[in-house]
Amino acid sequence: MEIVIVPDAATGGELIARAIAELLTDKPDALLGVATGSTPLPVYRALKSRVEAGTLDASRARICQLDEYVGLPEGHPESYRAVVLREVVEPLGLTEASFLGPDGAAADIAAACAAYDRALAEAGGVDLQLLGIGTDGHIGFNEPCSSLASRTRIKTLTHQTREDNARFFDNLDEVPHHVITQGIGTILEARHLVLLATGEAKAEAVALAVEGPVAAVVPASALQLHPHATVVVDEAAASRLRLAGYFRETYAAKPAWQSI
């Protein structure tokens, strides 16, 4: 696992956008797994700037969703399908035809989850999966004690996650209790995992995920099992890392030709 400590969120966004741009140069129709929440927005801004400047052709990229609320009315502006279409798909000049996501409004949620895992496999698998981390250590919506082998399925949000996400809704009561999330086993099948964490509120979860034991109680610690996982953190999110000095030295000494 590579840990990259950047001065701020914008620098992290640029770094990850560069890796995505390199991937799309090598594989123009790469399947990019995207995350929602506030953290990845600098990545999407940096990608949009590249597309607008003509330095990135994302026209054949395919975008897929990590997780989704269950029970929001179709077209709700905070459904993650709506968020990904608004924050990623449209700014990159893509259409819904390039987009894959689970159906959070399906009558048969279990079937919708299984169908999404199949759709990801049939699409050739995710090339790069962008991840955030919850203050409780979740990735996707895999809350603490999610099976490390889990597949896409329905989960119940912790009170902490519902409180963290209440800012996107009028009040806490409107935050759904249930979600569909790619399982940890599903996430680990992506070829490259890139987790971005910014801000002091993430420092403890980052330290446990990176330097603690692999444990279901810290779902993000599953990244330790992946052969190509990159964790990009700003100074605040890195503030509890015991090995921060080593991670800085390693990155500073990295050969210029080597991407993340």
- Give contact residues for ligand PGA (rule: CB under 6 A): 37-39, 132-134
Q: Shortest Cβ distance from residue 194 to ligand PGA (Å)?
A: 13
For ligand PGA, the closer CB: 20 or 205: 205
Structure tokens at 215: 């444990």
- Reported as half-sphere exposure (CB side, CA atoms, 13 A), residue 253 has a value of 6
Q: Shortest Cβ distance from residue 253 to ligand PGA (Å)?
A: 30
Active site residue 159: no
For ligand PGA, the closer CB: 41 or 260: 41
For ligand PGA, the closer CB: 37 or 176: 37
Which of 14, 67, 103, 234 is catalytic? The answer is 67
Return d(Cα 233, Cα 199) in angstroms, integer.
Answer: 8
Q: Shortest Cβ distance from residue 169 to ligand PGA (Å)?
A: 13
Which of 136, 164, 192, 234 is catalytic? The answer is 136
- CA nearest 179: which of 80, 70, 65? 70
Which of 143, 164, 192, 234 is catalytic? The answer is 143
Q: Shortest Cβ distance from residue 21 to ligand PGA (Å)?
A: 22
Question: Which residue is closest to ligand PGA by CB?
Answer: 37
Which of 76, 138, 192, 234 is catalytic? The answer is 138
Asked whether the beta carbons of 242 and 161 are under 8 A apart, the reply is no
Active site residue 136: yes
Active site residue 170: no
- Contacts of residue 133, defined as CB under 8 A and 6 or more positions apart, other chains included, come to 139, 195, 197, 202, 205, 206, 209, 220
If phi > 0 it is left, if psi is from -120 to 50 it is alpha, else beta; for residue 124 that is left
Asked whether the beta carbons of 229 and 237 are under 8 A apart, the reply is no
For ligand PGA, the closer CB: 116 or 141: 141
Active site residue 138: yes
Catalytic center residues: 67, 136, 138, 143
